[in-house]
Amino acid sequence: MSDGEVEAERSRRPLPGTAPKGDEARAFRPARSPGMVCRQRGSFTPSPEPPVPPSKSSFLYTEVFTAMTHRLPIGILGATGMVGQRFIQLLEDHPWFEVTWLAASDRSSGKPYGEAVKWRLDTPLPARIERMTVSPAEPEGAPRVVFAALDATIARELEPRFANAGCAVVSNSSAFRMAPNVPLVIPEVNADHLHLIEEQPSRRDSGGYMVTNPNCSAIGLVLALKPLEERFGIEQVFVATLQAVSGAGYPGVASMDILGNVVPYIASEEEKMEAETLKLLGRLESGPAGHAVRPLAARMSAHCNRVAVEDGHTESVSIKLGNKLGRPVTREDILTAWEEFRPLAGQDLPMAPAQPVEFAPQNDRPQPRLDRNRGRGMAATVGRLRPCGLLDWKFTVLSHNTIRGAAGAAILNAELLVSLGKLEPATAASHA
Ligand code: NAP
C-alpha cells in the first residue's frame, strides 16, 4: 500500500465498539489533503453562539499510529517564552516530531535563537536549536503543524491567521479555548471533542484548524475529576490553588512581590478554571447541525493564589459526588477509580504517562519539589484523600504547570491528532 492508502485505511478503521457511523464518520475525515507549508487563504471565524446540541450520541476515536518513518516538521510560535522553551526541551529527540521553525516577536526575529532567548531550563539548550534563526510570526514558510505559546491578546490575532493559511495550530493560550467550535482537549479526558475541528470554516477552506489545551490549573484538576465523574458523577467542586511563578511566564511576577509572600489574585484565572473544567468534562453532542459540547452541569468555585514556588501547581479540592453508584462512595471506590484510569493504555503515544493520576499515600504529599516530575512531568499526583465536612470528599492534586499544564499537554494533543490521521507524516522529499 502507498502512504496515502495506508492513511485512508487507518481513517476507516475504528477500534471495536468505538466506530463513528454515517455522517459522524464522514465528518471526521480530513476536508482536504493538507500540505506541508501554510498558505494564506480561507477564514477562521469562531462561531458566536454554540449550535443547539442535536442528539445524545458521543463517540471515541482511538486509532493508533505507530509507524512514523519520517519525523513531522514542527513550528513553535512564541518559541523564546517559558512555554516555548519547554516545547524545545520536550521535542528534542521526540520520535514523531522535529522542530524546524521558530518564531517570536519583532524583538527576536532575525536573531539566532541562542541570542534571542534567555534559556531558563535546567537542561542545555540543544546546539542545533541554538543556531536556528528566529522567523517573523507570519504563516508564510511555517510548517503545517504549529505549537503556539503566545499571550492571549497576541494569539487572538495570530492563531486564526495560521489556521486560515492551512496550519494545524495546537495552542496553549486562552484566546479560543471557550469558542464553541474549538476543541479544548485533554486526550485522557475528552478526545472525542476533537470533532469540533470540523465546525471550523478554515478546516473546509484551507485544511487548517485550531486545537487548544486548558489552563495549567484546570488540567491537573480535571485529570483527577474525570475518573470520579465517570463512575460516580460530580455535582459540586470547590478548589483553592497554590500556583507556581513560572505560570506567569518570564520574567513574570517581580521577586519583590512574591518572595516570602502569597498573592491571592491571578487575573481571569478563576473564571478560566471554572468555565474550562465544565467544558472539558462536558459531553460532545452531534447531529445534522454539527457538533457541540454541552458543559457538565455541576456547580464550581475556584480560588486562585500565586505562591513562591518555581514549578508545579498545587490545588486543594472538595467535591460533592453524584449518585451513579446508587450507594455512598467510599475511599476505596475513589482510589480504585484513580488507579484504573488509563484511557490511553496501549495507544503508544510517546508523551502519555502510563499512570495519568498517581496516588501518593504519605500524609504530607504531594509536594511540588518532590512530585511534579512524576510521569516525566505528565502525571497528576493526588493525595490527602479524606472526608470533607462541607461536601463529600477532599484531596490535594499537583501537576507540573509548564509540562502537563502547557507544552507537554499540547504535544500530547498533537500525538493524538497523528494517531487519528489528522496530521500526516512528512515525506522524505518534503522533509529534505
Ligand atoms: P512568555 O514567557 O511571556 O512568552 C511569550 C512568547 O510570546 C515569547 O516567545 C515572545 O517573544 C512571544 N511574543 C510576544 N509578543 C509577540 C508578538 N507580537 N508576536 C509574536 N510573538 C510574540 O509566556 P509563556 O508563559 O510562555 O506563556 C505563553 C502562553 O501559554 C500564554 O498564553 C500563557 O497563558 C499560556 N500558558 C502558560 C503556562 C505556564 O505555565 N507558563 C501554562 C499554560 C498556558 P519575545 O521573546 O520575542 O518577546
Distance CA(363)–CA(370), nearest Å, equals 14
Distance CA(420)–CA(361), nearest Å, equals 36
Q: Where are the alpha helices (DSSP H) in 210-354?
A: 216-232, 255-258, 269-280, 331-339
Residues 55 and 194 in one domain: yes
CATH number of the CATH domain containing 89: 3.40.50.720
Q: How many domains does the chain have?
A: 2
Q: Which pLDDT band holds residue 287 (cuts at 50, 70, 90)?
A: confident
Residues 336 and 412 in one domain: no
Residues 203 and 276 in one domain: no
Residues 247 and 333 in one domain: yes
User: Catalytic annotation on 303?
Assistant: no
Residues 79 and 225 in one domain: no
- Among 118, 151, 153, 241, name the best residue to mutate to test ligand 1's pocket (greatest count of ligand atoms within 8 A of Cβ): 151
CATH number of the CATH domain containing 366: 3.30.360.10
Q: List, for residues 239-265, the tens digit of each pLDDT value.
A: 999 999 999 988 999 999 999 999 999
Q: List, for residues 68-79, the tens digit of each pLDDT value.
A: 568 999 999 999
Residue 107 CB less than 6 A away from ligand 1: yes
Per DSSP, the residues of 188-236 read HHHGGGGGGGGG-HHHHHTS-EEEE---HHHHHHHHHHHHHHHHH-EEE
Residues 229 and 143 in one domain: no
Q: List, for residues 95-138, the tens digit of each pLDDT value.
A: 999 999 999 999 999 999 999 999 999 999 999 999 999 999 99
Q: Would you say the C-alpha torsion 343, 349, 352, 355 has a positive or negative sign? A: positive
What pLDDT is attached to residue 423? 84
Residues 237 and 119 in one domain: no
Residues 210 and 304 in one domain: no
The CA 149 to ligand 1 mean position distance, Å, reads 5
Residues 209 and 221 in one domain: no
Residues 152 and 239 in one domain: no
Q: For residue 362, how far is the Cα from the chain centroid?
A: 29
Q: Whose CA is nearest to atom 16 of ligand 1?
A: 105
Residue 171 CB less than 6 A away from ligand 1: no
Residues 244 and 384 in one domain: yes
What pLDDT is attached to residue 289? 85
Report the predicted TM-score, pTM, of the whole model to 2 decimal places: 0.87
Residues 89 and 24 in one domain: yes
Distance CA(198)–CA(190), nearest Å, equals 16
Q: List, for residues 347-361, the tens digit of each pLDDT value.
A: 999 999 999 999 999
The CA 296 to ligand 1 mean position distance, Å, reads 30
Q: Which pLDDT band holds residue 221 (cuts at 50, 70, 90)?
A: very high
User: Catalytic annotation on 167?
Assistant: no
Q: Which domain holds residue 33?
A: 3-215+408-431
Q: List, for residues 139-177, the tens digit of each pLDDT value.
A: 999 999 999 999 999 999 999 999 999 999 999 999 999
